Structure 1
């Protein structure tokens, strides 16, 4: 975020006051617009430096072209090293670069008409080694490989396999972890081991047109937006560093989204207030997900065989390989490689109308009612192109394009009716009590994965939710104390969950294959419930000191009979193993969290104003729903800012410390690593897991000049 006017956090289902719908809440970010009718520049230059190689430069200013027309230019450049993860095998360090610019035009020809247009572009370049934690496990990969080869030799001596079978595995790779401690790695070590270096590049453009017209009795608002983005992501699925040459996957996505919204609100009736509108959203996305799966041969004899994609290989990335194969397929017929090239089109068109009515029964009591009707047409397909090579012949499907999604599931239509009802009563001018009920909806869809699995696993159904909230908003002590409190209860019918730690039976042209880790996870539906309380307060002690904070507590669980897809290497079925999750939490969020802040300012003896800000947050310990062997400890994050502001508000300088206690733990647990397998076998269990953490202690300095 940069050059931001305000941020709104909305809780609960949305969609009856404006067009974009959300079942669980929304975050609205409003950027600053050019001001018309004022000679003020409203400009600033802000620079930030921090000790994780962070360097940020941000600037913005208005340019007044006439009394009715103004422009605003804003831009930011952010370079940083993120969590400073280092790949100890390739020597590559984490690095991020973000550049963005925005042009805003404001035209106010009359008091009744306002036209605003904003254009923004952005470019993101990141190299982000995937940190790993845990151990090789017992037995280790090497021990399993030794046992496998010994077993082949025994079968050969008994005549059960052809002579020389065991000899073919003389050079079978045994993953080596002599470069890490025998006790394994911890998340806070920030160490990566993979052969490929993951990177991300995203380019995007946004156009927004906003027209507001005061018609006297009514206000008309028109909104149009268009966004285009291209993203490239390269990862190494072998984040545990078990393969000699890694397991590269590249995903490229082109997205175009066009939205239109019209709202009409009355302004002349204090008794009845209403907003009615229409909304349209058309999105088109095309994704390629390409893999070099040559590990099945390169692991057997790394000195003889190499993948096509990767550092030092014939091609830099898997998509480069797929493009070359499409141009000249026959050139790869003799190649000792396995390549998969996936094309994934996803299109969706939403048409909706909505209305919201507020009727003031008296000066103290009101009722509010909203409704939204929408229809969504969507198309999804996954087309796997399996290039023909020496290892993937015609009999194996080499040269074919195979659709993953059944014909009956590609084109779908979904419609829903959602809305809300609210009763509010003011005890006095400062205290509001309310009861609200809101319904939400998420459309059915298809699991998107580059792994060829049983088509019956892909579709998942719609989700419907209903939330009841009882709350209070008030100010006390002559306005010095603000206190808000709410209790909410949500029921889900068909709660949509993506399970990341999943293996499934791989499907090939010749029939079911071995078990494989499903990249991207698999969705399903279960009934569930969630409830909680939110408290927040702010207390103005005096003109120089403000204290505030919040407390949240949630409890959630899947209903009886709920199941998840899981990772069970003993599974012998044809789809995917499942496990009962009845009574388990819906996600890895903490049951309780608290925040406290202090904002203090005092006149500086040399002029201007000194200020101090403390912000402390506490989050309860968590148990991973995906990987219950791993616990996420309670965290206390303390941030401190001390600064000085000039009397004319031109200069502002501050020193900050984020996460002053350097309290670090894993932030996201996906699964134990199970992509590695012996050639022709199922995944092997390990105790390695991806180790993304919150950022540790960071110290920095910020300087702002306002003009």
Structure 2
């Protein structure tokens, strides 16, 4: 369903009218529905348990049951619960990532980490893409803005924290859930909780998810290019030998046979290979195209596993906590790089192997004193090995060849295989001491402040060697070198929290964040070329209000922010390279500001309504080295583009994107969920839910390319079903993207402009097609 774009005043008027009508309904029925209150939600966003409405941060927290109801099975679907969160799709899981308030990281380099930290049960994931499925989740907490004071490792723009369910003492129970849906969707989840004596319990979680791909390769018999198959298992152990000591241990492993991010042609240029071969196979390029014709393979797999030990010891009101974790993640992903049956680049992609260890020690003071605090030490160590490979015969079809395949490098004999493989080993050590305290000035006024000191050491080993039986792709040379970078940083946060009444809290904060240094590790062209990338430093100002009205039946949270990021780490084109290879660098600075609103209402005991919206004004303040889009005027034509020094006659150019909107960030995002329950009989309860999400136009390119704009669109989903006494069983019909709206999660120009000038590729999310299915769950 495509939404018609209304003007901003009209949207504001409609939103205001909806809230006013909702408030009127709540006020009118307050006495009759006194028990219809919004449930309190306890979070650990500040490393201590507290009501989410008391936390002076912009935060979205949702229980695991809500994720299941919305059919959220992958982390990239979190935009359904938080409009300020986007997921930027790229060619692989490792290069894809979250955006919060317009800020995020998209890079193929293992030497650059995400600006949005992904955390599971207090453990930072060095490879966020290793989180392949969501199962047995207690809740998810999304923290916006710099979060380095307490969570540390590269949470410079925000944090997504998944808290899973722990074993329950003195309980023997289980749950089995099965889902079957369109496009081969088959999901299975089994959970068992077993008491071990009076002081311990075990919890076993097994999950298996499958679905067919949505992109078909018609040159390979209609094979799926992007099927999904994930199997995971987790064993958890909770032991409480005394009232003061709690020990929680867990081990998990997952295997995913999934190729991320298959693409199709959105636009092709007549006479070139994509247009010629598409016509041969009956493929029509366009926004709804779900087919490719390619002779190369599309395949991917990943494996993640880990161990973690949590210990909490309470003494005299203080809590001493330790979290130790070791994890590994391995991934492989390759695809046909030219998306044609012609052998230009038939193998493109890479592999990665990351191992990391983390240790956190934390002391939490009791509450109720004039001053309470959290103090801690943190250590992080990781080793990431990665490979980036391109291989093919560098043949192509051009308009001048009249459909015949030509050798792009005629100096090499026919049949020559060209290959360039780059290998990196990135070693990282990070040491930190942190603390945050709250001084209770009066019964209503608190001053909150935090500091974190960090010492980072990162090392790079870079290798590119010839591959026997192949020739280097032109522009590549054999290289081997080592580099290192060290950095010390002090990040901080300070601000007041004021309780206007028992139900209304306002706050303001100033934060200086930190994202550590790293390495480009991509297309080095000379031995010893500087691959170092300096730290990224955001400064953020935020004010907010958290409030409840009508006896906790209406909750309204509002936040406004202004963030500037210096030394923004970004992937740009290398102006010194004749092949226009990419590199990671400190591209300049960006600024983002906006407003976020979240409304939760419970007009009746069985009716819940949520409304959320985000306005984001995100711009590049200085971003040099951005490649011009095809047809963008050169300086001589009155445009911004400058010819590359390495090849002045090239049709490509480069410029500074100052003033342009950040890539992949819509200005407006709105969402709503309505759920209703009703007792149908003594033993049967019915429920229904509908969810709606809308976003404004989004340009996926930093250069403002009009060909990479995804127009505004709406997505509608829902769930309806019945459940038995005490939810012993539940049957439901669910739907996501009910009206089968085709939308692109990413749009990019053709990788090499001269081989398809004016052409575009698009990448589809699993939610870019309709999925209707049925689920059955039983508890025992």
TM-score normalised to the size of structure 1? 0.82
Distance 2:771 2:422 in 1: 41
Residue pair 2:564, 2:592 contacting (<8 A) in 1 also: yes
- Cα deviation, residue 450, structure 1: 5.2
- Cα deviation, residue 196, structure 1: 1.1
* SS at structure 2 position matched to 1:177: helix
Q: Deviations over 1:461-509 (max 9, x none)?
A: 321111111110010011110110011110111222224xx47565xxx
* SS at structure 2 position matched to 1:613: strand
Residue pair 2:520, 2:584 contacting (<8 A) in 1 also: yes
Distance 2:700 2:405 in 1: 40
Greater CA deviation, 65-74 or 662-671? 662-671
Distance 1:696 1:303 in 2: 35
Partner of 1:115: 247
* SS at structure 1 position matched to 2:464: strand
- State yes or no: 1:276 paired with 2:375: yes
Partner of 2:227: 95
The structure-2 alpha-carbon separation of the partners of 1:70 and 1:296, relative to structure 1 and needing over 3 Å to count, comes to same
Distance 2:779 2:493 in 1: 44
- Cα deviation, residue 42, structure 1: 3.8
- State yes or no: 1:61 paired with 2:198: no
The structure-2 alpha-carbon separation of the partners of 1:568 and 1:378, relative to structure 1 and needing over 3 Å to count, comes to farther
- Cα deviation, residue 19, structure 1: 4.3
Residue pair 1:593, 1:619 contacting (<8 A) in 2 also: yes
- State yes or no: 1:633 paired with 2:695: no
Q: Deviations over 1:512-560 (max 9, x none)?
A: xx535x36x6444212211000111111111111211111101011126
Greater CA deviation, 85-94 or 561-570? 561-570
Residue pair 1:590, 1:620 contacting (<8 A) in 2 also: yes
Partner of residue 3 from structure 1, selected from 136, 144, 168: 136
Residue pair 1:338, 1:391 contacting (<8 A) in 2 also: yes
Q: Deviations over 1:362-415 (max 9, x none)?
A: 11110000000001000123210013558569xx999x8413x6x5xx111011
Partner of residue 775 from structure 2, selected from 670, 691, 702: 702
Partner of 1:236: 336
Matches within 5 A, 1:348-363: 348-363=428-443
Partner of residue 30 from structure 1, selected from 163, 166, 187: 163
Relative contact order, higher structure (CA 8 A, sep 6+): 2
Distance 2:452 2:475 in 1: 47
Residue pair 1:469, 1:486 contacting (<8 A) in 2 also: yes
Partner of 1:645: 723
- State yes or no: 1:534 paired with 2:596: yes
> Which blocks of at least 5 consecutive residues in structure 1 are unaligned?
143-172, 306-332, 507-513, 678-682
The structure number with the bigger radius of gyration is 1
- Cα deviation, residue 343, structure 1: 1.7
- State yes or no: 1:618 paired with 2:694: yes
The structure-2 alpha-carbon separation of the partners of 1:282 and 1:178, relative to structure 1 and needing over 3 Å to count, comes to same
- State yes or no: 1:365 paired with 2:365: no
Residue pair 1:86, 1:129 contacting (<8 A) in 2 also: no
- Cα RMSD between the aligned structures? 3.2
Distance 1:457 1:632 in 2: 36
Residue pair 1:526, 1:563 contacting (<8 A) in 2 also: no
Distance 1:691 1:288 in 2: 23
Partner of 2:295: 195
Partner of residue 612 from structure 2, selected from 536, 543, 550: 550
Q: Deviations over 1:129-158 (max 9, x none)?
A: 8331234315x226xxxxxxxxxxxxxxxx
Q: Deviations over 1:244-278 (max 9, x none)?
A: 37421341211101000000011165211011100
- Cα deviation, residue 666, structure 1: 1.3
- State yes or no: 1:220 paired with 2:350: no
- Cα deviation, residue 189, structure 1: 2.1
- State yes or no: 1:81 paired with 2:182: no
Distance 1:276 1:473 in 2: 26
Matches within 5 A, 1:156-171: none
- State yes or no: 1:267 paired with 2:343: no
Partner of 1:52: 183
Residue pair 1:73, 1:102 contacting (<8 A) in 2 also: yes
Distance 1:47 1:174 in 2: 43
The structure-2 alpha-carbon separation of the partners of 1:124 and 1:619, relative to structure 1 and needing over 3 Å to count, comes to same
Residue pair 1:485, 1:536 contacting (<8 A) in 2 also: yes
Q: Deviations over 1:283-339 (max 9, x none)?
A: 10111223324326999999999xxxxxxxxxxxxxxxxxxxxxxxxxxx9994333
Partner of residue 106 from structure 1, selected from 215, 238, 262: 238
Residue pair 2:591, 2:619 contacting (<8 A) in 1 also: yes
Distance 1:589 1:264 in 2: 39
- State yes or no: 1:285 paired with 2:384: yes
TM-score normalised to the size of structure 2? 0.74
- State yes or no: 1:477 paired with 2:477: no
Partner of 1:375: 455
Greater CA deviation, 482-491 or 379-388? 379-388
Partner of residue 591 from structure 1, selected from 651, 655, 667: 667
Partner of residue 13 from structure 1, selected from 146, 155, 159: 146
Partner of 1:255: 354
Partner of residue 402 from structure 1, selected from 479, 482, 500: 479
Distance 1:534 1:397 in 2: 47
Partner of 1:666: 744
> Which blocks of at least 5 consecutive residues in structure 2 are unaligned?
1-133, 408-412, 632-641
The structure-2 alpha-carbon separation of the partners of 1:515 and 1:41, relative to structure 1 and needing over 3 Å to count, comes to same
Matches within 5 A, 1:180-191: 184-191=284-291
- State yes or no: 1:685 paired with 2:763: no
